[in-house]
Structure formats: C-alpha cells, structure tokens
Amino acid sequence: MKILVVGDPHGKILKKIPKNIDLILITGDLGKTGLARKMFFENIKRKQKGLDEIEETPGFIKKVWKEIYVSTIKVLRHFSKIAPVYFILGNVGTNTDAETKKEEEKLGIKLPRIRAGINKIKNAHLVRNQVRTINGLRIGFLEYFADVGWFRELGVKDAKRRSKSNKETAKVRRILRNFKKLDILVSHQPPYGILDKISGAYGAPKNWWGKHAGSKVVLDYIKKSQPKYVFCGHIHEGKGKKKVGKTIVINAGVSRDYFVVEV
C-alpha cells in the first residue's frame, strides 16, 4: 500500500500529487492560521516586555474562524478526490459545533461550524483518539493534547493551564495503553527529543529556541510498543525521518511538505 503522509497543511495543498496513492494520512492543523498565529506571538512578545496583551475583538475572532474554516474545507476537498483521507485534529480548528455555539452566544456573532463542514465531505475521515483497521493495517490516531512536558520544558508557570495539561496527559496515557500494538501511529506531536526542536524559523520567541516540544508520553509508547511507523507534525522545523528502536518516526513537516511511504 502506498501512503501519502501530509504534514500540517495550514491551508496549503499539493499541486503535484505522486501517482497511485492508496491512502492519505494528515497529521493535523489543516486550516490556515496566519491571523491567529501573528496575534499569538505578538502577545508573547508584549508579555515579555511587561506590556498588556492585545485584546481579540469579536470582529477579529470571526475573521480567524473564517480563515481556518475556508482553508480546512479546501484542503479536505482537494485530497479526498485522490484517495481516502484520514486525519487528526491538531491545535488549530478543533472546536465542536456545541463549543462554537457557546462562543457565538458569548461574543454575539455568527461563526462557521467547522465540524459540520468536515462531515459533508465524502472520503474524508476525522478520527479522534481511536484505532482504525485500514487495508489490514492497525492505525492509531492521536489528536493534539496539552502535554505537561511542554509546559515544563518552556517554563510555563500558569497553574490553571498546567492543571488542565496534567489531566489531558493522563488521559492520553490511557488512550495509548488501549491502542496496544499498532502498525502506524498518527500523532500531532512528535515524541520528545525526536524531530521536535524549536528554532526561530517559524516565528517562535527566542527563549523557546533549542527547546524540545515533543511528547514524553508518545516517546514512552514508542519505546514500549514499537509500532512500525509514527507520522507526526506540529514542530514545523522538525521535518525529517529518524529511528527509535525498530520504529521509523517521520515528522512530515508543514504547508506542502509530504512523504510517500510504501507499507
């Protein structure tokens, strides 16, 4: 089976697709995030300088959501015409329709329903923390979570965020135990220390450079269970291939980056 592993698209599509692809796996972050990303890093810089963060207005939030929605749907329509597409959620465009409704009520604005849009696309399958058997392969799909190791690595001291992260990390440990033996793990985050080093190439703050943003939970799972492959993204500058024991880890990169894997 010939698999096209697509790195975090962020709204970009491949103009030239390799021939005879049987399956497409996408590592998350399908939508474009130019507006949100610019604001996020700008506020980090302001906070470091002791300045107040720029407040996101309802009008700005609506533009962010529309940018993510339109680009996500474009990406899925494009790839789903080529082969069956299976994908996970990254840290972009993750809101359920119920969460979207709550946000609308809070802000007093109308927002696009991204899950409803995804569900209308044939041949595109969102998989959330589950195993699928596809053409005889056991493939586990692990969506983005706030890994507690990331907060420790970057020295984040926000107690509320770290508490939530502890809960999410514990949940992921249980999910991975339930996955048991896999042929392929699709994970948004790379394993800790493997193709996960941050640089300044994509706008990260200088105090993040050289730090590892991968997951120790994912790394532990790989060492114990040794799936044949792990496909990941998230850390854009980490694109590449590396072995952990018998497991081949591929960080598929970002925005038109991809790998072709024959299994």
- Please tell me the predicted confidence (pLDDT) of residue 155: 76
Give the sign of the dihedral formed by CA 117, CA 11, CA 6, CA 221: negative
pLDDT in tens, the chain (263 residues): 999 999 999 999 988 889 999 999 999 999 998 888 788 888 778 888 888 889 889 999 999 999 999 999 999 999 999 999 999 999 888 888 888 999 999 999 999 999 999 999 999 999 999 999 999 999 999 999 988 877 788 777 777 887 888 899 999 999 999 999 999 999 999 999 999 999 877 777 788 889 999 999 999 999 999 999 999 999 999 999 999 999 999 999 999 999 999 99
Q: What is the pLDDT of residue 42?
A: 84
The confidence score (pLDDT) of residue 94 equals: 81
2-262 CATH pick, 3.40.50.2300, 3.30.420.40, 3.40.50.300, 3.60.21.10 = 3.60.21.10
- pTM here? 0.91
